[in-house]
């Protein structure tokens, strides 16, 4: 049966029609995006240029920063550009691409967070076997599984959405193309598709969140056997991870684990997992982590020393 599609573009309604509010949002989101890029790139450079890259936790953290950049960049630049124009138009092809990349990179990020929880469990609960459990081959394999999981999660939903018929209204009450707002403007019965999206996104997010909560609960229970210094260090690291998990999974579960419908508040909650959580990740993982701060300090000192040396060479 041929898919009926008379829509070649969609109109994103965004946050507000008020010009002053749009200017405020433009400045705010531009700042957030620049901060996100700068923070995650700083983490990447600091880890790659130091011995931390050979430690499993920081190896995963560097890949999480990469996913933060890819995930947010699939949505935020378009959002920022749309705040400067009156009609926020996205072509059908770019809309479908946005659906795919958001779920692909988002699922990889979810799985990397899960792998990082497993890494902390092995480090704290199985310290004598940690290096054997989390060797580089296994770490690379876990990342490969995360990428495969992203594909398994995103492709079925992408094919479900791309087969939807769009023949009438083309206004999407959101700032990016997401599945539930698209189901609202499709000209067919989308009940089954909505249930499948809940299964692929909502239930997967909930199960993953429960696994992470149980993992960190086990870790915190094990901390009572450590020394005061060991407890402080482990709590600092795990506290960072738990904060990231709550910021990311709370809004995702709220939006996807419910009947397939949309609310005006969805756009605010979506900001948490598309912009706010990725922006705060660098702060959360660095401000409470002495090893990251030392690595960044060394990189900064080396760069400053090299600049001074080159300036002296030019002066002489």
Domains of the chain: 14-294 (1.20.1070.10)
- 4 falls in which pLDDT band (50, 70, 90)? low
State pTM to two decimals: 0.87
Q: For 5-23, how does the pLDDT look when each residue is reduced to its tens digit (9 = 90+)?
A: 677 889 998 887 778 888 9
Q: Say whether pLDDT at 214 is over 60.
A: yes
- 1 falls in which pLDDT band (50, 70, 90)? very low
C-alpha 220/C-alpha 214 separation (Å) is 10
Q: Say whether pLDDT at 76 is over 90.
A: yes
Residue 289: C-alpha distances to residues 54, 62, 122, 221 (Å): 17, 14, 19, 21
- 120 falls in which pLDDT band (50, 70, 90)? confident
Q: For 274-316, how does the pLDDT look when each residue is reduced to its tens digit (9 = 90+)?
A: 998 888 888 887 766 777 777 777 777 766 555 554 555 565 5
C-alpha 250/C-alpha 94 separation (Å) is 28
């Amino acid at each position: 049966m041929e898919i009926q599609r008379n829509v070649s573009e969609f109109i994103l309604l965004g946050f507000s029609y008020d010009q002053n509010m749009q200017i405020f949002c433009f400045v705010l989101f531009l700042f957030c995006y620049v901060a996100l890029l700068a923070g995650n790139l700083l983490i990447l450079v600091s880890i790659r240029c130091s011995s931390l890259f050979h430690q499993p936790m920081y190896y995963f953290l560097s890949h999480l920063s990469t996913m933060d950049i890819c995930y947010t960049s699939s949505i935020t630049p378009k959002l920022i550009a749309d705040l400067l124009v009156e009609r926020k138009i996205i072509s059908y092809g770019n809309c479908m691409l946005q659906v795919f990349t958001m779920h692909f990179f988002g699922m990889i990020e979810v799985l990397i967070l899960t792998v990082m929880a497993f890494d902390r469990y092995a480090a704290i609960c199985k310290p004598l076997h940690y290096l054997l459990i989390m060797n580089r081959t296994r770490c690379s394999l876990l990342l490969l599984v995360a990428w495969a999981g992203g594909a398994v999660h995103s492709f079925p939903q992408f094919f479900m959405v791309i087969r939807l018929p769009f023949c009438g209204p083309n206004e999407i009450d959101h700032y990016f193309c997401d599945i539930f707002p698209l189901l609202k403007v499709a000209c067919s019965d989308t009940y089954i598709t909505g249930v499948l999206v809940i299964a692929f996104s909502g239930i997967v997010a909930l199960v993953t969140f429960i696994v992470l909560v149980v993992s960190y609960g086990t870790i915190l229970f094990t901390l009572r056997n450590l020394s005061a210094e060991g407890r402080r260090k482990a709590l600092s690291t795990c506290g960072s991870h738990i904060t990231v998990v709550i910021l990311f999974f709370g809004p995702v579960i709220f939006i996807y684990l419910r009947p397939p419908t949309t609310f005006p508040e969805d756009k605010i909650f979506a900001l948490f997992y598309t912009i706010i959580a990725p922006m705060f990740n660098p702060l959360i993982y660095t401000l409470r982590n002495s090893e990251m701060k030392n690595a960044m300090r060394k990189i900064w000192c080396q760069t400053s020393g090299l600049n001074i040396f080159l300036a002296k060479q030019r002066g002489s």
